[in-house]
Amino acid sequence: MKGTVHYEQRDNIALLTIDNPPVNPLSSGVRQGLSDGIAKALADDSVEAIVLTGAGRAFIAGADISEFGGAAQGPSLHDCLQSMDNSSKPIIAAINGTAFGGGLEVALCCHYRVIAPSAPVGLPEVKLGLLPGAGGTQRLPRLIGAEKALDFILSGDPIPGPAAKELGIADSVADGDIVEAGIAFAQDIIAKGSPIRRVRDESELLQADRDNAELFDNARKTSARRMRKRFAPEMIIQCVEAAVNLGDFDAGMKVEAECFAKCLKHPQREALIHMFFAEREVAKIPDVPKDTPTQDINQAGVIGCGTMGGGITMSFLNVGIPVTVLEVDQEALDRGIGVIKRNYDIQVQRGRMSAEEVDQRMGILTGTTEFSDLGTADVIIEAIYENIDVKVDTFKKMEAVAKPGAILASNTSGLDIDKMADATTRPEAVIGLHFFSPANVMRLLEVVRGEATSKETIATSMKLGKRLNKVAVLSGNAPGFIGNRMLGGYTRQAGEIILQGATPYQVDNVILGFGMPMGPFQMNDLVGLDLGWRARKLGGVKPEDVPITARVADKLCELERFGQKTNRGFYIYPEGSRAGTPDPEVVAIVEETSAELGITRREISDEEVLKRCLYPLINEGARILEAGIAIRPCDIDIVYINGYGFPEVTGGPMFWADQIGLENILADIKKFQSEYGGDIWEPAPLLEKLVSEGKTFASLQG
């Protein structure tokens, strides 16, 4: 059994300490220890109260997530909680650190709660596709009222100790030794003869909320907006509704148990828990051990202060790392820094940041036009435009000024890191740090290792990613790395489908319906249709040589429809709006292009649109795995969810593929190959191998 609970008697107090490193989840051994410890304390006449705390940095991080879906050993959490609730001796939670999910529910089952100021408490189950299933949906509304309980449970976000006290979750905030504070609290209760306070027996706040249908309507509207297509929020609302309207605690617990079971069985739960473990897995690199030495990053240099460079700069400033940003001339520098300042000012207007915080961030930003000013930086990242010759030249300049040991990084979205490394005499310090736009917002960071990149450079970069609040995924150095390489097939298929009979609006609606935040044509309009068109013009590409999937976009550009920036592209955007409306003129251009190419248009089903856009991602993902560019299938899932808006509830393209069945996907890929041909539909050898062996992508996780 995993984990244990230490029992110790201090005078008339039994001290139970949960010990299941690193974060004390409620694994089988903890439940057993809790059950035994409570029984022992109750049986011992010399014990007058029980104090419960956690060893190390956490109180309890919640149920043991790795046990979900399997057969659990030991007593159930509900049995433990029942014995605590029924205890004839007061139980005081001394919340020393993180109390999440089932951990907070254990604390709510205690009769009193003392909390350390730094201890975060939260019910994050919703983020895992679950609900607080150990009485949290019934006890919290009794303690703080239904409205606040709904907000707290539906957001899943933690709050620190003092806020927990203010909300009514904790009885007292204690500085200093939290165990001593818990024991002192217990002695005080004993001395005063205070009654045991069982949250289950509280009813005042529930009565005040009864028959308030508006409360639940509002919660439904908010969660539909914030957590589109999520199953768990409605289940949570039903549980809280039951707490309020049924009044009886046991009847409410029955509803909670039913709703929890529905969540547990739901595919979203499996996908979201896959994501939880995947996020932690990607940090593990087989040939870069955990104890690989890392360098301190106390100062950064960024080359280029355009959209990417500005966003990267903000990512560093946001976590307090000073940045020197370089531009070609003063005008470009002033413009770039002006944009950064404006972005922060918008945050102030929206109440997300104070003016003092903006001053602090801007105070650690220095602008320059001289490379020599980058000499003190621990990491220098170039974020100039995508041209290998210019990048190579920039790396030569970086190396000339960089201090020994500094990391030299490129923000390229797909160019060859080794070519840049070869331009220097320290290729071991060269790495790709591919941020996603807007870099200060998007969570993904692709870390690209070159042939000679050292383990220390990789370990430092992965650690830096975490410090910048990103999820860093290691990629091999191959064109497009992981994400953009996979994207190619998706966008090409979207372009092909509209020539064969669908409209751009049908394709976008199918992709939106799948749960992506944007369809491919909305994405084109956002990025700007003119980028590809200008590159083709500059490159002297003849009209007849333009790929057929780019023909419609090029025609739109000839009409100066560049996308959102000109208020017209595939969509029409009313002035100042980012919500486009479909345009019959575009449909006419698409139809005209099909005719020019001799393509007979036909009805294309939504199902075909979805498969043809998404299956190339999976096929290419299999190739990427086979070539060792991504370490594991879950690395691809993390890239796609955090960098490309793939819906989280699917668990990412590779996890989703396993759910659909690889044999079904391969059959469709072969069907599309015979109908449409092209390298996109050439089945990846790894996909064929897994199907022939009856295996899944998950079987490659190791």
Q: Which residues are catalytic?
A: 105, 125
Question: With binding defined as CB under 6 A, does residue 465 bind ligand 3H9?
Answer: no
Binding mask 134-163 for ligand 3H9 (x = CB under 6 A): x-x---------------------------
Contact range with ligand 3H9 by CB under 6 A, out of 59-67, 192-200, 403-411, 502-510: 59-67
Please tell me whether residue 336 binds ligand 3H9 under the rule CB under 6 A.
no
Please tell me whether the peptide bond between 574 and the residue prior to it is cis, using omega within 30 degrees of 0: no
Amino acid at 112: Y
Please pick, from the candidates 13, 114, 121, 130, the single residue that binds ligand 3H9 as defined by CB under 6 A: 130
Alpha-carbon distance of 529 to 573, in angstroms, equals 14
Nearer to ligand 3H9 (CB atom), residue 133 or residue 495: 133
CB nearer ligand 3H9, residue 31 or residue 536: 31
The only residue of 37, 54, 102, 450 in contact with ligand 3H9, by rule CB under 6 A: 102
The SS3 assignment for 616 reads: helix
Nearer to ligand 3H9, 69 or 363 (CB): 69
Q: How many residues bind ligand 3H9 (CB under 6 A)?
A: 25
Q: Which long-range contacts (CB under 8 A, 24 or more apart) does 660-664 make?
A: 662/687, 662/690, 662/691, 662/695, 662/696, 662/697, 663/691
Residue 310 tokens read as: 């500005």
70 binds ligand 3H9 (CB under 6 A): no
C-alpha closest to that of 434 among 629, 569, 280:
629
Closest approach of ligand 3H9 to the CB of residue 279, in Å: 8
Cα gap 536→527, rounded to integer Å:
16
Smaller CB separation from ligand 3H9, 103 or 414: 103
C-beta separation of 104 from 121 below 8 A: yes
Counting contacts by CB under 6 A, is residue 635 touching ligand 3H9? no
Burial 132-158 (b: 16+ CB within 10 A, else e): bbbbbbbbbbbbbbbbbbbebbbbbeb
Residues numbered 199-228 forming contacts with ligand 3H9, rule: CB under 6 A: none
Residue from 65, 163, 401, 610 in contact with ligand 3H9 (CB under 6 A) = 65
The nearest distance, CB 120 to ligand 3H9, in angstroms, is 7
Residue 694 in contact with ligand 3H9, rule: CB under 6 A: no
Q: What is the spatial distance between Cα 697 and Cα 656, in angstroms, rounded to a whole number?
A: 10
Residues of span 279-298 touching ligand 3H9 by CB under 6 A: 280
73 contributes a contact to ligand 3H9 by CB under 6 A: no
Question: Which residues, including other chains, have CB under 8 Å from residue 114's CB and lie 6 or more apart?
Answer: 92, 93, 94, 95, 170, 171, 172, 173, 174, 178, 181, 182, 185
Per CB under 6 A, does 125 bind ligand 3H9? yes
User: Tokens 């079987």 identify what position?
Assistant: 699
60 binds ligand 3H9 (CB under 6 A): no
- Mark the segment that binds ligand 3H9 (CB under 6 A) among 22-30, 389-397, 430-438, 612-620: 22-30
**Any idea of the CA torsion for 360, 301, 484, 427, to the nearest 10 degrees?**
-150
Q: Which of 3, 101, 450, 653 binds ligand 3H9 (CB under 6 A)?
A: 101
Q: Look at residues 223, 3, 222, 181 and name the one whose alpha carbon lies nearest to residue 95.
A: 181
List 3, 29, 74, 124, residue binding ligand 3H9 (CB under 6 A):
124
Tell whether residue 129 is a contact of ligand 3H9 (CB under 6 A): no
For the chain, the maximum distance between any two Cα atoms, rounded to a whole number of angstroms, is 93
CB of 544 to ligand 3H9, least distance (A): 54
Among residues 653, 573, 655, which one has the least CA distance to residue 616?
A: 653
CB of 129 to ligand 3H9, least distance (A): 10
Our finding on whether 64 is near ligand 3H9 (CB under 6 A) is yes
Where do we find the tokens 């799948």? 514
DSSP of 25-75: -B-HHHHHHHHHHHHHHHH-TT--EEEEEESTTEEE--B-GGGTTSPPPSS
Q: Which of 66, 73, 369, 577 binds ligand 3H9 (CB under 6 A)?
A: 66
3-state DSSP assignment of residue 158: coil
Find tokens 């994400």 and name the residue: 483
Minimum distance from residue 141 beta carbon to ligand 3H9 (Å): 15
Q: Indicate which single residue of 37, 54, 129, 132 sits in contact with ligand 3H9 (rule: CB under 6 A).
A: 132
23 binds ligand 3H9 (CB under 6 A): yes
User: Could you say which of 5, 16, 49, 63 contacts ligand 3H9 (CB under 6 A)?
Assistant: 63
Tell me the residue type at 18: I
Q: What is the chain's Cα-based Rg?
A: 29
From the list 62, 432, 519, 569, which residue makes contact with ligand 3H9 (rule: CB under 6 A)? 62
Near ligand 3H9 by CB under 6 A: residue from 3, 133, 141, 647? 133
Closest-CA residue to 81 (of 108, 63, 62, 99): 108
Task: Specify whether the CB–CB gap between 391 and 381 falls below 8 A.
Answer: no
Binding mask 233-272 for ligand 3H9 (x = CB under 6 A): ----------------------------------------
- Positions touching ligand 3H9 (CB under 6 A) are 22-23, 25, 58, 61-66, 77, 98, 100-102, 105, 124-125, 128, 130, 132-134, 136, 280
